[in-house]
Chain A
Amino acid sequence: MLRTGGEVMSKRADRAGSAIARRQLMKAGGALLAGAALNSSGRAANDPLAKLWVRYITGGHPYRPSYPAMFLDPLFVEMEIGPNDLPNNFVAMVTPGAGSAGPAPTAGVTAGPASAGGPAAGAGGNAPPIFAKDNPPDMPWEPSTQIHSGVRSLLPGEAPVFSVFLLNDRTNWPEDVRSTAKKNVEAGKGFVVMHNAIGDNQDWPWWYQQVTGGLLVLDEHDGMKKSTITPSVTMEVRPVGDHPITRGIGTLHLTKEEGYKGMWQSPKITPILEASGGSGTDRVVAWVGPSDQARVVCIAPGYASETHRNPAFRRLVRNAIMWAGGRMI
């Protein structure tokens, strides 16, 4: 057990698969099964001394391993990043207290060894969860960055409250996901929409018009022309305006990027990065979405390993997550 300033810090956790302590998960699972919803604006989410919980979600489109490796950089020390890819747990993790309606059914439900329930899976679904009962009392907490900073992750008995959703999937979400995503927008959660995910939800205007404010148009529809995707683009990217996300970032020289041109962009977005030097990219490559409820940041670059390893790009992504989580003003 670790203590700082007399305060119990997060104890053991399965940082690995679930980023949630098994014991804590069991307690959380018990609460869920009892029908108690997690508090979406729980103390940990608003406590600057607690880590920012970030749900990493990908699916439906390929990306390089250098993208997740980026988040092991100590730069991301103030957050706990927990991957949980599509298809199933998106709903469970986006929805505060998802799975609280009752015990997981035996079919059509996702719930693994480290999950407490969830929505319909593919054919056959997942088995009911099985929980370990033999956690040793001295399991240390390993932060996602593996740096022990003194910042709390969880207090004993707490379940994580994911405040930011870091999207790099490219899919059209099904209706149940849309419904819960909408609730989370309305709840003021943070969304960082990376590269692939700017192509999400082609057929859901509410998402791209009112939330993200931009769309990589994959096929011409609804009066929008198809965007172009150009490989191996070199671009100079500079901050525009004075926004906390880009403060101190400087100019990014990006190579081998996948350039998006002809994205649909809402007049209501707030540009934060502009590109120059290439014909394969739109001018505005990062922006704050128009939602007046959620904090939404979209970042179009993010394809190349060279980009993922660029210190300024990492700083940009870190700032975007922190801002989306309400930790930067």
Chain B
Amino acid sequence: MFSARDITSAMSFFSRRHVLLGAAAAALPAGASAARAALRVQYTTGAHTVPLQQYAMFDDDTFRDLDTWILPHPHPFDGINGTAGQPGPDVIVLGDYITGNWPDADHAPMEKYLDSGKGLVVLHHSVGDNQNWPWWYEGVLGGELVQQAAMQERVKKHSALKQWPHQRITPVADHPIVRDVRPFLLARDELFTDMWFSPKATVLLRSDDPDLANNGAIAWLGVHPKARVVCFQAGHTDWVNQDPTYRHIVHNMILWAGGRLA
């Protein structure tokens, strides 16, 4: 299989200036947030097409306050809990699509990462990751695309795909992620219908598309007891990924997942 021989350096990529800024921030009095280090963000893709605009979103001016690196599969999680002298990410943004399971070697570091209370933002295809790993969708995401036979059997349903609906999106929770978001029209997108949802998932945004499960849930908070997890199933097309409102919401999700939005 693939090997990334120099993957030991994978998490050495967060810029040194942020480490220095972090040290400086630690020396400042409480409330002196101006010198806080930028959130370290790892955006992980793999195994499926993603529009250039989703990658480029992280280069948008809106996201320049983050220290973002793209690290696709394979072995993207080897360094997420930090290595000697090198911090791991504060927030992982998933844009991959591996519906079976991530390789076993990826499980333990992700479990440890989440248990440490860090952030996870799950975009579009990634709500279909790890369908053969019930802990992932029942204990972390709280909502999942259902395609794999074993998961269909377990949750007694099967998802489908709907292309290019016009959707009106409405915030439904009093939550920092959507507090400054007004109802908006979402550009045409790929929509996963009949997803499975945990009753514990907190819905943040609802779509008016009639085929969506859970009364139109399109963004929701995950259910992990320690980590800050948020899922947004929109984000397939270039139109959506360059939509300022979409980008604003994703940015809010990252800030909240990283503990910077309360």
By a CB distance below 8 angstroms, the chain A residues around B43 are 65
Measured CB to CB, the closest approach of chain B to A109, in angstroms, equals: 9
C-beta contact mask, B1-12 vs A, less than 8 Å → 1, else 0? 111111100100
Q: Please list the 6 inter-chain residue pairs (A to B) with the smallest Cβ-Cβ separation, ordered nearest first.
A: A124-B100, A127-B147, A16-B237, A68-B55, A65-B58, A124-B101
Kindly list 10 other residue pairs between chains A and B, CB separation below 8 angstroms, not including A60-B75, A87-B47.
A17-B50, A59-B46, A60-B4, A68-B55, A88-B48, A88-B98, A108-B100, A123-B104, A127-B148, A142-B239
By a CB distance below 8 angstroms, the chain A residues around B240 are 16
Knowing A59-B46, A130-B161 are in contact, say whether A146-B238 is a contact too (CB < 8 A). Answer: yes
Do A65 and B68 have beta carbons less than 8 Å apart? yes
By a CB distance below 8 angstroms, the chain B residues around A156 are none
C-beta contact mask, A64-95 vs B, less than 8 Å → 1, else 0? 11111101100000000111111111000000
By a CB distance below 8 angstroms, the chain B residues around A169 are 72
Q: How far is the CA of A40 from the CA of B262 in the complex (A)?
A: 53
With beta carbons under 8 angstroms apart, the residue of A14, A110, A172 that contacts B47 is: A110
C-beta contact mask, B50-80 vs A, less than 8 Å → 1, else 0? 1111011111000100001111111100000
What would be 23 A-B contacts, judged by CB atoms less than 8 Å apart?
Answer: A60-B7, A65-B59, A65-B68, A83-B49, A85-B45, A86-B47, A87-B2, A106-B148, A114-B48, A121-B47, A122-B74, A122-B100, A122-B102, A124-B131, A126-B100, A131-B161, A132-B161, A132-B190, A136-B164, A146-B242, A171-B3, A172-B5, A173-B2
Closest Cβ neighbor of B132 among chain A residues: A124
CB neighbors of A among B1-31 (8 A): 1-7, 10, 13
Q: How far is the CA of A98 from the CA of B10 in the complex (A)?
A: 31
Q: How far is the CA of A163 from the CA of B60 in the complex (A)?
A: 29
Interface size on B, residues (CB 8 A): 66
Do B99 and A58 have beta carbons less than 8 Å apart? no
By a CB distance below 8 angstroms, the chain A residues around B100 are 107-108, 121-127
Q: Is B163 part of the contact surface with A, judged by Cβ < 8 Å?
A: yes
Closest Cβ neighbor of A309 among chain B residues: B59
Q: Is A326 part of the contact surface with B, judged by Cβ < 8 Å?
A: no
CB neighbors of B among A211-233 (8 A): 218-219
Using a CB–CB distance below 8 Å, which chain B residues touch chain A?
1-7, 10, 13, 42-43, 45-53, 55-59, 63, 68-75, 96-104, 125, 128, 131-133, 147-149, 159-164, 188, 190, 236-242
CB neighbors of B among A119-177 (8 A): 121-128, 130-132, 134-136, 139, 142, 144, 146, 169-174
Do B97 and A83 have beta carbons less than 8 Å apart? no
With beta carbons under 8 angstroms apart, the residue of B101, B159, B163 that contacts A123 is: B101
Do B2 and A171 have beta carbons less than 8 Å apart? yes
Do B160 and A130 have beta carbons less than 8 Å apart? yes
Do B74 and A171 have beta carbons less than 8 Å apart? yes
